[in-house]
Amino acid sequence: MSLTSDVKEYARTVGFHLVGIASPEPFTQAEIDITQWLGEGHQGEMGWLNQARTRLATRPAELLPGAKSLIVVGVSYRTVEPDDGPGGRVARYAWGADYHAAMKARLRSLGAYLSEQAGRPVKSRTFVDDGPLVERDAAIRAGLGFRGKNTNLLTAIGSYVLLGALLTDLDLDFDTAVPKDCGSCRLCFDACPTDALDEAYHLAAERCIAYLTIEHRGPIDADLRPKLGEWVFGCDICQEVCPYNASTRGRPHGWSEFEPRLGTRLDLQGVLELDDEGFRQTFRGSPIKRAKRGGLARNAALALGNRADADTRPILEHAATTDPEPLVRDAAGWALARKNSPTN
């Protein structure tokens, strides 16, 4: 076997379901597209998405001097099917433990393997959705899949896939991109409740439920609140309707770290009753902690307002008058008004 084949086999051995090799040449088109997207103001409050970071993220060779290869990996996070009962909906990737640590540990193991096989200390740098690298574009170049109209990477095992990369100074054979697209399908467009997918392959993040429930720190616009439904952390709607996720036959199961820790839905009343320390303890080691207590409680209040049942008024009244954060009191007040509306 060649060194490239050995590397790919080892990556699969440590658990990655997809692996490909890409050139570290600049991602010129990605820089153009992201620059235009930033100019349109779609980054919302994500100030870290700026031109300086974009330039660095699209030039892998500047991230690791002497870089010669970019190993891109993917792992399915599909475990169980979501509960269809009441409760706060959470994006699949956040049902279990934080994926960053799980993936980085395996990527570091892959880096050590490179040095062992090369017989010398191999320089490498790992990326798991928290460093300046356009991982989705790298995955496309490495042949892992293609970009869907919902802007997700669509692969042979679906789009419930987490990406990571190992940039290295080791010479490896490159893979080629997959020449596919979504054709005339527009299911994700029609399903998005906030019209965040305003055109093919383009996301208006400031309207995306995932952005609103995680990254957006202030009050959510009144016209968008009813459209959040019961989503309290992230959103999977554009993936749930995608034909690439329609079947589970032959699809790999996600790692044990991704198994649900608190179920697939959150107790909305329980979320509103958490104080700061309770939030930290409940969501320690979970991606959900990124929303912070105030953000998650805001989302829980809005979700309660979007539910048809009437037995949630007492908890909303309590939150509207006693929660220490104005953000949460505002959301609870809106939810109460919505429940008291003649149309509800």
Give me the phi and psi of 288, to 5 degrees please: -65, -25
Does 218 fall in a domain?
A: yes
Asked whether residue 70 falls in the same domain as residue 119, the answer is yes
In a domain, 237, yes or no: yes
- The answer to whether residue 181 sits within a structural domain is no
| Residues 153 and 191 both lie in one domain | no
Mean pLDDT for 127-145 is 96
The pLDDT of residue 109 is 97
Say if residues 291 and 328 touch (Cβ distance below 8 Å): no
Q: Identify whether 177 is part of a domain.
A: no
Residue, of 44 and 146, whose pLDDT is higher:
146
Q: Has residue 1 got a pLDDT over 80?
A: no
Give residue-wise pLDDT tens across range 245-303: 999 888 999 999 999 999 999 999 999 999 999 999 999 999 999 999 999 999 999 99
Catalytic residue list: 129
In a domain, 231, yes or no: yes
CA 128-134-137 angle, to 5 degrees, is 115
- Residue 311 confidence (pLDDT): 84
Last residue of a domain, one of 123, 138, 168: 168
Q: Does residue 218 sit in the same domain as residue 319? A: yes
Please indicate, yes or no, if residue 176 is contained in any of the structural domains.
no
The residue type of 142 is: A
pLDDT at 310 over 80: no
Is pLDDT at 309 greater than 90 in this prediction?
Answer: no
Strands 231-233 and 88-90: parallel
| Of 113, 136, 168, the domain-final residue | 168
Q: How far apart are alpha carbons 316 and 332 in whole angstroms?
A: 5
Q: Is 91 inside any structural domain?
A: yes
Q: Looking at residue 344, what is its pLDDT?
A: 59
Residue pair 214/291 in contact by the 8 Å Cβ criterion: yes
Q: Are residues 48 and 116 in the same domain?
A: yes
pLDDT band at 341 (very low <50, low <70, confident <90, very high): confident
Residue that has been written with the tokens 């892992």 in this structure: 144
Portion of the chain with pLDDT greater than 70, in percent: 99
Instruction: Report how far Cα 223 is from the mean position of its chain's Cα atoms.
Output: 24
d(CA 26, CA 130): 19
SS (H, E, C) the chain: CCHHHHHHHHHHHCCCCEEEEECCCCCHHHHHHHHHHHHCCCCCCCCCCCHHHHHHHCCHHHHCCCCCEEEEEEEECCCCCCCCCCCEEECHHHCCCCHHHHHHHHHHHHHHHHHHHHCCCCCEEEECCCCCCCHHHHHHHCCCEEECCCCCEEECCECCEEEEEEEECCCCCCCCCCCCCCCCCCHHHHHCCCCCCCECCECCHHHCHHHHHHCCCCCCCCCCHHHHCCEEECCCHHHHCCHHHCCCCCCCCCCHHHCCCCCCEECHHHHHHCCHHHHHHHCCCCHHHHHHHHHHHHHHHHHHHHCCCCCCHHHHHHHHHHCCCHHHHHHHHHHHHHHHCCCC
Question: Rounded CA gap, 1 and 71, in Å?
Answer: 18
Same domain assignment for residues 155 and 204:
no
For residues 193 and 156, membership in a common domain is answered with: no
pLDDT for the residue numbered 342 = 64
Residue 168 and residue 258 in contact, taking contact as beta carbons nearer than 8 Å: no
At 203, phi and psi to the nearest 5? -120, 125
In this structure, which amino acid lies at residue 332?
A
CA 83 to chain centre: 20
Domain identity same for 151 and 291: no
Judged against a pLDDT cut of 90, whether residue 308 lies above it is answered with no
With a pLDDT cut of 90, the percent of the chain lying above it is 89
The yes-or-no verdict on residue 224 having pLDDT over 90 is: yes
Please check the confidence at residue 223 and state whether its pLDDT lies above 90. Answer: yes
**Residue 61 lies in domain:** 3-168
Q: How many domains does the chain have?
A: 2
Cβ atoms of residues 145 and 154 within 8 Å: yes
Asked whether residue 174 is domain-assigned, the answer is no
Domain-terminating residue out of 133, 168, 203: 168
Tell whether 59 and 155 lie within a shared domain: yes
- Say if residue 49 is exposed, middle or buried (CB neighbours under 10 Å; 0-12, 13-18, 19+): middle
The neighbouring-strand residues paired with 69 are 168
- Residues 208 and 88 placed together within one structural domain of the fold: no
Q: What is the pLDDT of residues 11-64, one digit of tens each?
A: 999 999 999 999 999 999 999 999 998 899 888 888 777 888 899 999 999 999
Q: What are the residues whose beta carbons fall under 8 Å from the beta carbon of 6, sequence distance 6 or more?
A: 117
pLDDT over 90 (residue 343): no
- Give me the residue label for tokens 């008291």: 340
Query: Do residues 132 and 208 both lie within one domain?
Result: no
Residues 243 and 117 in one domain: no
Is residue 164 domain-shared with residue 197, that is, in the same domain?
Answer: no
Nearest 10 degrees: CA dihedral of 166, 170, 171, 175? -10
**pLDDT tens across 173-219, in order?**
999 999 999 999 999 999 999 999 988 899 999 999 999 999 999 99
